[in-house]
Amino acid sequence: MTATGIGAAVRRKEDFRFITGKGQYTDDVTRPGETRAMFVRSPHAHAKIKSIDTAAASGMPGVLEVLTGAELASDKIGNLICGWMINSKDGTPMKMAAHPALAVGKACHVGDAVAVVVAETLAQAKDAAEKVKVDYEVLPAVIDPAKAQSAAAIHELAPNNTIYQWHLGDAKAADAAIKSAKHVTRLDIVNNRLVPNAMEPRVAIGDYDTGTQNFTLWNTTQNPHVARLVIAAFVGMAPEHKLRVIAPDVGGGFGSKIFIYPEEVVCLWASKRVGRPVKWTCDRSEAFVTDAHGRDHVTHAEMAFGDDGKITAIKVKTVANLGAYMSTFSSSVPTYLYATLLSGQYDIPAIYCEVDAVYTNTVPVDAYRGAGRPEATFVVERLVEVGARELGIDPADLRRRNFIKSFPHQTPVIMAYDAGDYNASLKKASEIADVKGFGKRKRDSARVGKLRGLGYSNYIEACGIAPSQAVGSLGAGVGLWESAEVRVNPTGSVEVLTGCHQHGQGHETTFAQVVADRLGIPIDNISIVHGDTDKVQFGMGTYGSRSGAVGISAIVKALDKVEAKAKKVAAFMLEAAEGDIEFKDGKFTVAGTDKAAAWGEVTLNAYIAHKFTGAQLEPGLKEGAFYDPTNFTFPAGCHICEVEIDPETGHTDIVGWTAVDDFGTVINPMIVEGQVHGGVAQGVGQAMLENAVYNSDGQLVSGSFMDYTMPRADDLPSLKVDMTVTKCPGNPLGIKGCGEAGAIAAPAAVINAITDAIGTEDLAMPATSQAVWAAIRRVAKMQQAAE
């Protein structure tokens, strides 16, 4: 390890510009002649649009265009799509309803865009938007996913609001195991609906060049190339080569900026119509009712136990709320990103999962940090914990008895785990958390009238998304490889072009560390270029903890080629056979001699081409690679949460948090620790604070930070973060991925700890003080009744 190489806690190169206010976010981009867009949105959850009168708005000062779904249709702008085909168990394909960028005929959720005003200034656009008259006929709204299948259909093509009825696993085997079980643990679980709330709201600038007929979209996206592909091939805005997508600095995504949204389509389209750039900047209120939400599962789950606490089966039935329309990857989240992880870290012979996905008159639901895997972990880790309590077995011991111990391990639900040591992370976490001393701490709490509880979460996730052939066979419309291009300049400095996109992950640092380590050059001589489809040829973007495992692997592959070419150049310079050239620490040497050439000399020679002819070797030093993973990666670990609760108020303090994760090879431990911190904070947010609440009319009543509680620093203790390492055998550096782990692990750890403290499993997320207080009262009442 060098001071800046793999494994070094290098300070983030990108932070200087962020903390000095020099970041360039989409809203910082101003195009000459820019106009502003303001959307008119439905205040009703479900309403027929009888008419839209735009005349008054069109006559307002500064207004250039007022557009509705009618113009969208007449200009033949295509619908937004969901790119992952899921078939129902009867073989029928999922029921994907039309999702136009502006509502046509009816509005299907509060916030659904029904018109857009383009004006010279934002104030003028806002004033004119007030004048757009929409005559609605309010229709009954379907809100509760558990009741959606018995309500009138929102979209004609989906009777009973059912998008698909999917399943995975062996129902007969699971049923048989449950029937013959020594004990069965049953839980009803609601995985609460969340609003992603990235710090930077979404922004789009559409810029149509009337001279070249080229479109440019500046956009807050996690995957500019996928945005371009969808907008070109499906929405039909422009051919791919006539559309450039630029995603500059992006302030957080958490999944919500993966998807292709109506506003970016409308800005492009409107720009062509008005012949000037059109900018839309989302405000926070708008974000609450337009950014795809996360989670929202209603689940019944059963876990069967045989002798000695051996898990024999798990059976799960989930209703997943996908909202009013199918967002870009929404279909995959409650299916292949969820049910495939129901084996957890355990050797479970029989697994069966049924998932019904439903439409409701709510904002579309799609991937949010963890995407399916937090929901799976919550199911498995709650069942294991409750099962242990019911069986009177120590929860850690029950887990140990069921851990998968030999690898590779084929689960009954598709995944083949390649490497791991679950016992090692449990052991290390238990030591750091001082589980042995918990009894004493609990007694100490009791002395001051407090309750204390301890909860484990032994999560596993499938990351490094994903082998293209595998996801293709499961319905994905795209491959999930990644690309890299390493451009070496004559002076030896390097630009790396990557299809990954950073929006908080620190790629400019970690990716550069890998290159510095490999080429033996200073990290400051390396630039990471991303987020522009005119610079990077293609890429699949950043999500699913894939940038390390897939993106860096592509860079490593390109570096292999660069090194091979540079060795050829060195061979000509040093007048040696290519096979005798060795490269180490930035220096080329001829084996067994003292002949050497420095990296910078070789790179210069590659370009001046004085030492070889064009017939012998092409000048230049630039190589690209596409890396397609051979398997998912399987980060796993053990998080232990300790809580102290005031039974008089229900106020719950997290007094201890230990995270021991196995992410395989770690490039930058400081950045990885930061990712764990952020993930845990979001997971604690879900478990204790955050909840997207709709009333029965479909109004989002927790639609601002007054009512939607985000985690704050004082909600969390100082986290103890540590690692165990088993390298991933599937990629060159042995990386597994770390971005989502905290959010996946945390909710189960929190709820397991609180339920341990209060003595009832009847506690839904978010476990607010009020909810905990009410649960404590229910327990007291039951105890009184029993006496």
Which residues would be at the binding site for another protein (CB under 8 A)? 40-44, 110, 126, 129-131, 285, 288-289, 695-697, 699-701, 703-704, 706-707
Q: Of 294, 277, 343, 292, give the one whose Cα is nearest residue 315.
A: 343
> Whose Cβ is closer to another protein: residue 24's or residue 695's?
695
Q: Would you say 688 and 772 are in contact if contact means Cβ atoms under 8 Å apart?
A: no
Q: Which residue from 654, 161, 638, 650 is spatially nearest to 362, judged by alpha carbons?
A: 161
Do 330 and 82 meet the contact criterion of CB atoms below 8 Å apart?
Answer: yes
Instruction: State the minimum distance, in angstroms, from the CB of residue 190 to another protein.
Output: 19
Whether 737 contacts 443, CB under 8 Å: no
What is the chain's percent helix, strand, coil content, to nearest 5? 30, 25, 45
Give the Cα separation of 46 and 112 in Å (integer). Answer: 9
Rounded Cα distance between 296 and 191, Å, is: 5
- Indicate the residue among 386 and 692 with the shorter CB distance to another protein: 692
The nearest distance, CB 776 to another protein, in angstroms, is: 25
344 within 8 A of 401, measured Cβ to Cβ: no
Instruction: Identify the three-state secondary structure at position 574.
Output: helix
Beta carbon nearer to another protein, 51 or 212? 51
Least distance CB 154 / another protein (angstroms): 17
In the bound state with another protein, the residue whose beta carbon lies nearer, of 144 and 601, is: 144
Report the nearest approach of another protein to the CB of residue 697 (Å). Answer: 6
The smaller minimum CB distance to another protein, of residues 361 and 458, is found at 361
Residue 224 near residue 26 (C-beta atoms within 8 A)? no
Closest CA to 340 of 417, 424, 247, 279: 417
Minimum distance from residue 280 beta carbon to another protein (Å): 15
* Closer CB to another protein, 117 or 571, in the complex: 117
Q: How many residues does the chain have?
A: 787
Specify the 3-state DSSP secondary structure of 152.
coil
41 or 382: CB nearest another protein: 41
Q: In whole angstroms, how close is the CB of 769 to another protein at the nearest point?
A: 17
Least Å distance between CB 704 and another protein? 5
Measured between alpha carbons, how far is residue 625 from residues 464, 498, 632 in Å?
Answer: 17, 10, 19
In the chain, what's the furthest Cα-to-Cα distance?
96
Q: How far is the CB of 684 from another protein (least distance, A)?
A: 24
Q: Which of 112/385 has CB closer to another protein?
A: 112
**In the complex, least distance from residue 692 CB atom to another protein, rounded to whole angstroms:** 11
Is the CB of 473 or the CB of 704 nearer to another protein?
Answer: 704
- DSSP secondary structure letter of residue 392: T
* CB nearer to another protein: pick between 133 and 561: 133
Could you tell me where the beta strands, DSSP code E, fall in 148-253? 162-169, 183-191, 203-209, 214-219, 243-246
Tokens 């008259």 sit on residue: 133
Cβ-based nearer residue to another protein, 154 or 604:
154
CB of 703 to another protein, least distance (A): 3
Helix (H) or strand (E) holding 181: none
241, 269, 442 from 774: Cα distances, Å = 59, 52, 21
Please answer whether residues 328 and 83 qualify as being in contact, where contact means their C-beta atoms are separated by less than 8 angstroms: yes
* DSSP letter string, 322-355: --SS--TTTTTTTTTTTGGGTTTTB--SEEEEEE
Cis preceding linkage at 334, omega within 30:
no
Tell the smallest beta-carbon distance from residue 134 to another protein (Å): 9
Q: Of 423 and 699, which CB lies nearer to another protein in the complex structure?
A: 699
Handedness of CA 744, 748, 750, 753 (dihedral sign): negative
Q: Is the Cβ–Cβ distance between 292 and 363 less than 8 Å?
A: yes
Least Å from the CB of residue 172 to another protein:
44
